């Protein structure tokens, strides 16, 4: 029986994966001081969802320090917990065709001082070679997020698979603003 939390989608069905990421984003509590972002870590070779996450899913980061957890970070924490390893070692257990779907581009600066999502992706030693992004981060909190530029410069492909969903994704991301 297929898990409702980690379903399998048709290989390459970017709309289904992004829609599932949007379902995660809608679980994030709306607030004027953050975005509601959802993320899905998937095996592109099988279409299986490996893990999901949304903004503020965990009230503490992996080391137990208080702070805001981002959607991508929550995906990584779940894989680490599942395999009983530190988050920075999840590259050892991820399938070689792992991809990340996120409703908003991974951050490269955090006002909280916590590790950025771009850094978290890059420290996985090329375990994630492609990130599918819903929208660019609006300049609400950080004037210009360099997340996608930094990832591209380090060999990670950035793809916007559903540009016609930009308004829908923006509306969900900005809930509470």
pLDDT score, position 23: 97
pLDDT classification of 98: cutoffs 50, 70, 90: very high
pLDDT at 113 over 90: no
Count of domains in the chain?
1
Q: Sign of the C-alpha dihedral, residues 23, 156, 159, 11? A: negative
pLDDT at 82 over 80: yes
Any domain includes 46: yes
Give bridge partners of residue 40 from the DSSP assignment: 52, 101
Cα 157 from Cα 99, distance rounded (Å): 10
Any domain includes 19: yes
**Residue 40 in contact with residue 17, Cβ under 8 Å?**
yes
pLDDT score, position 112: 75
Any domain includes 130: yes
Any domain includes 7: no
CATH code of the domain in which 168 resides: 3.40.140.10
Average pLDDT, the chain: 91
> Helix, strand, or coil here: 157?
strand
The distance from CA 111 to its chain's CA centroid, rounded to whole angstroms, is 18
- Look at residues 119, 131, 57 and name the one whose alpha carbon lies nearest to residue 88: 119
- pLDDT (tens digit, 9 = 90+) per residue, 31-43? 888 899 999 999 9
pLDDT at 141 over 90: no
pLDDT at 61 over 70: no
pLDDT score, position 1: 36
Rounded to two decimals, the pTM is 0.93
Any domain includes 27: yes
Cα 46 from Cα 30, distance rounded (Å): 33
pLDDT score, position 140: 84
Any domain includes 2: no
Q: The tokens of 104 are what? A: 């908003």
Any domain includes 23: yes
- The pLDDT > 70 percentage for the chain reads 93
Any domain includes 8: no
pLDDT classification of 158: cutoffs 50, 70, 90: very high
> Domain limits at 167?
14-173
């Amino acid at each position: 029986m297929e898990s409702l939390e980690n379903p399998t989608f048709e290989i390459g069905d970017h709309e289904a994966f992004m829609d599932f990421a949007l379902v995660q984003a809608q679980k994030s509590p709306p607030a004027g001081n953050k975005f509601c972002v959802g993320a899905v870590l998937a095996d592109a070779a099988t279409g299986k969802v490996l893990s999901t996450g949304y903004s503020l899913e965990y009230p503490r980061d992996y080391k137990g320090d208080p702070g805001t957890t981002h959607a991508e970070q929550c995906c990584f924490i779940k894989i680490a917990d599942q395999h009983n390893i530190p988050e920075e070692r999840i590259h050892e257990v991820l399938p070689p065709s792992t991809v990340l779907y996120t409703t908003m581009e991974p951050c490269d600066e955090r006002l909280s001082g916590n590790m950025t999502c771009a850094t978290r992706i890059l420290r996985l030693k090329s375990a994630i070679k492609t990130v599918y992004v819903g929208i660019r981060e609006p300049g609400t909190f950080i004037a210009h997020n360099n997340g996608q530029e930094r990832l591209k410069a380090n060999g990670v492909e950035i793809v916007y698979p559903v540009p016609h969903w930009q308004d829908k994704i923006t509306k969900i991301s900005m809930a509470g603003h």
